[in-house]
């Protein structure tokens, strides 16, 4: 009788351990992907800002200007962009955050 009890306990415990490992691994992977996605958006906006300055000789007045004239696409439902302009010839402050 004791042998039958161990026969099903070991596979159940091993399965639970594997499931816990997969859960932790996927949550860490998701966090890494989210961080990389946020950094990619920040770099794309920054690249468009610099491109506008190189082409026009001034920094863009807003993010919507970049979307209209430089093809920038941002998922505004997912990301919040804070863009603060100090002057036409001063690099604006740019912050990107996930909502």
- What's the pLDDT tens digit per position in 15-28? 888 887 778 777 77
> Residue 5: is its pLDDT beyond 80?
no
- What's the pLDDT tens digit per position in 26-46? 777 677 778 888 999 999 999
Give CA–CA dist 17/32, Å, rounded: 23
What pLDDT was estimated at residue 82? 94
Model-wide pTM > 0.85: no
Q: What rounded mean pLDDT belongs to the chain?
A: 86
What pLDDT was estimated at residue 97? 92
In the chain, domain spans: 2-98
């Amino acid at each position: 009788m004791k042998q039958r009890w161990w026969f099903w306990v070991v596979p159940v415990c091993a399965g639970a351990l594997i499931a816990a490992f997969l859960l932790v691994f996927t949550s860490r992977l998701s966090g890494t992907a989210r961080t990389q996605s946020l950094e990619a958006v920040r770099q794309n906006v920054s690249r468009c800002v610099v491109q506008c300055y190189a082409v026009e000789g001034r920094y863009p007045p807003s993010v919507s200007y970049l979307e209209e004239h430089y093809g920038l696409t941002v998922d505004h439902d997912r990301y919040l962009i804070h863009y603060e302009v100090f002057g036409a010839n001063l690099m604006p402050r740019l912050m990107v955050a996930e909502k």
